[in-house]
């Protein structure tokens, strides 16, 4: 029986995903041009609303199917750029160091929302997969799967680290006092009033790296 299991989000927790999106917007515009780039982001929202996660490969497939024959090579070039994207420059400062610090106190794993192809590739390219010894789990609505995570990784206590307050609230409802919730105030969702919930997390930090100063006892607050 482990003492602590740390369930760590990726986007806007370990990785500056807002910054990644800005980089993508510039690169897609440069490759696709105004019209196709605009359609790329329209499909981004359409696919996200349909499947409830971001799925770049699905939207690229749709964009290529819509494109005139003389534009398909351009769409293929954009798809290649997406596949080869380097996420390393957008890792938050000391994020990997923080994961390794948590590893000295318990078992860290990545629990992320996303599609089953692009998201794990992104996590791997960030260097996070190696830091958590391959324990990477991708779900839509991760809070629904916490009992399965609990079954696979039995522990005295669990810690969920995320930027979205709603996920933290619903996770607390699922696991109760055996879970400590950590709200990291990074990224556009962390303080979005549209996503505000009537819930106070157990721990609130400005940056993920603030957890470098925490010891094991501080995570037993659930």
pLDDT for res 208? 98
Using DSSP, state whether 15 is helix, strand or coil.
strand
pLDDT for res 54? 84
- Give yes or no for a contact between 162 and 17, defined as CB atoms under 8 angstroms apart: no
Regions in the chain scoring below 70 on pLDDT: 222
Using CA atoms, how far apart are residues 145 and 135, in angstroms rounded to an integer? 15
Q: Give the H/E segment covering residue 62.
A: helix 56-66
Using CA atoms, how far apart are residues 191 and 36, in angstroms rounded to an integer? 32
Domains belonging to the chain, first-starting first, are: 2-16+91-219 (3.40.50.1000), 18-83 (no CATH)
Using CA atoms, how far apart are residues 50 and 214, in angstroms rounded to an integer? 40
Read off the pLDDT of residues 195-209 as tens digits, 9 standing for 90 and up: 888 899 999 999 999
pLDDT for res 113? 85
pLDDT for res 222? 66
pLDDT for res 74? 96
Using CA atoms, how far apart are residues 193 and 202, in angstroms rounded to an integer? 20
Residue 4 forms beta bridges with which residues?
157
Its pTM surpasses 0.85: yes
pLDDT for res 53? 82
Using CA atoms, how far apart are residues 153 and 188, in angstroms rounded to an integer? 31
With CA atoms as reference, report the closest residue to 78 among 142, 132, 33, 108.
33
């Amino acid at each position: 029986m482990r003492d602590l299991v740390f369930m760590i989000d990726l986007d806007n927790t370990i990785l500056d995903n807002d910054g990644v999106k800005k980089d993508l917007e510039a690169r897609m515009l440069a490759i696709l041009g105004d019209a196709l780039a605009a359609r790329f982001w329209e499909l981004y929202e359409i696919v996200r609303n349909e499947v409830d996660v971001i799925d770049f490969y699905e939207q690229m497939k749709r964009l290529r199917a819509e494109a005139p024959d003389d534009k398909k090579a351009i769409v293929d070039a954009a798809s290649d750029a997406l596949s080869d994207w380097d996420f390393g420059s957008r890792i938050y400062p000391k994020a990997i160091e923080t994961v390794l610090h948590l590893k000295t106190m318990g078992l860290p794993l990545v629990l992320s929302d996303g599609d089953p192809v692009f998201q794990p590739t992104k996590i791997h390219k960030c260097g996070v997969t190696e830091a958590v010894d391959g324990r990477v789990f991708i779900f839509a609505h991760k809070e629904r799967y916490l009992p399965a995570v609990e079954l696979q990784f039995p522990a005295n206590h669990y810690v969920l680290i995320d930027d979205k307050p709603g996920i933290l609230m619903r996770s607390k409802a699922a696991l109760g006092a055996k879970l400590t919730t950590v709200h990291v105030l990074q990224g556009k969702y962390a303080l979005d009033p549209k996503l505000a919930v009537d819930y106070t997390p157990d721990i609130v930090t400005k940056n993920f790296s603030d957890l470098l100063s925490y010891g094991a006892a501080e995570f037993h607050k659930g």
